Amino acid sequence: MKVLTKTSELREALAQRPRGTVGLVPTMGALHNGHRSLIERCRRECDTVVVTDFVNPTQFNDKNDLRNYPRTLESDCLLAEAAGADILFAPTVEEVYPEPDNRTFPLGGVGEVMEGASRPGHFNGVCQVVSRLFVMTNPDRAYFGEKDFQQIAVIKAMVRLEGFKIQIVECPIVREADGLALSSRNRLLDAPHRTAAPHIFEVLSAAQQKVGELSPSRLEAWVTGEIERNPLLKVVYFNIVDSLSMQRVGAWDDATAVQGCITVQAGAIRLIDNIKLK
Ligand code: AMP
């Protein structure tokens, strides 16, 4: 596996690869088995596998979060190589943004709710960096995790806006044995909050059994109440949404795929998760 930091090196390495499909797995590093599952899938489906490892400042609306974000390049290289990556691209901020990026992406409704509402500017920053990585690598396919369910809808909207001919591949959430969705931020949880965190998925799983019995808005309230029974967990939002538009649904309707999307504040750490409800 080649570890590269310059865009020119990346372009050269890609030009030298044998013909075939290129797959891209964009990450912010601190790689774990969730990332591994994306890289392994990309390896199975593409001739060249590029993993990017870049903590993108433009998607952080909270300076402390950016400062504290874990950075573990050495172990990331080991994991990416073991999972089958050909290239790990770990550029500096100056390399990705030689000049400030002032673009705004008119994402419409998918970008305005949930993470869009509670982290202003976050999705615009995600679109800035992912569109740059798409131009740099020119992939046939790009792999994203359903852990960031709304992000996938945002990326698809950006791909339509920019006219990229790239297939967006959605990969299932990888969880710890106790149900907690793997996240680079989990390592920042202190012991009491780490012990509390699996309660989120326990309640989401129980919510699946209540579809139909409770209306969507009652189920939203039920999930919030059940999670907050644990005083260490504070629900930022739990929205039951149409899986395509990300807008809240008023009723259960057989024709609409429905997802429950949640963000929980566990002390200083924000945890996000979601579950298919219909
Ligand atoms: P991040 O490094 O957190 O920006 O994540 C990079 C990619 O890995 C995104 O597409 C995430 O959705 C995906 N990802 C992160 N955690 C998981 C997980 N537990 N299961 C599946 N995919 C994940």
Per-residue pLDDT tens digits for 68-80:
999 999 999 999 9
76 and 29 in contact (C-beta within 8 Å)? yes
Work out which ligand 1 atom sits closest to the CA atom of 185: 3
Ligand 1 pocket, residue 145 CB under 6 Å: yes
Ligand 1 pocket, residue 144 CB under 6 Å: yes
Q: 212 C-alpha vs ligand 1 centroid, how far in Å?
A: 30
Work out which ligand 1 atom sits closest to the CA atom of 148: 12
Q: Which parts of the chain register pLDDT below 50?
A: none
35 flagged as catalytic? yes
Q: 213 C-alpha vs ligand 1 centroid, how far in Å?
A: 32
CA 99 to chain centre: 25
What is the best residue among 148, 174, 186, 272 to mutate for testing ligand 1's pocket, by most ligand atoms within 8 Å of CB?
148
Work out which ligand 1 atom sits closest to the CA atom of 32: 16
Ligand 1 pocket, residue 182 CB under 6 Å: yes
Element (H, E) at 275: strand 269-276
Task: Find all residues with CB under 8 Å of 168, minimum gap 6, and list them.
Answer: 141, 142, 144, 152, 155, 156, 159
Of 32, 35, 122, 193, which is the active-site residue? 35
Q: 211 C-alpha vs ligand 1 centroid, how far in Å?
A: 27
Looking at the DSSP bridge assignments, the partners of residue 172 are none
pLDDT tens track for 226-240 = 999 999 999 999 999
Q: 245 C-alpha vs ligand 1 centroid, how far in Å?
A: 21
pLDDT tens track for 30-51 = 999 999 999 999 999 999 999 9
pLDDT for the residue numbered 260: 98
- Sign of the torsion formed by the C-alpha atoms of 123, 124, 125 and 129: positive
For residues 202 and 227, what is the distance between their CA atoms, to the nearest angstrom? Answer: 9
DSSP code of 146? Answer: G
pLDDT for the residue numbered 81: 98
- Tell me the residue type at 2: K
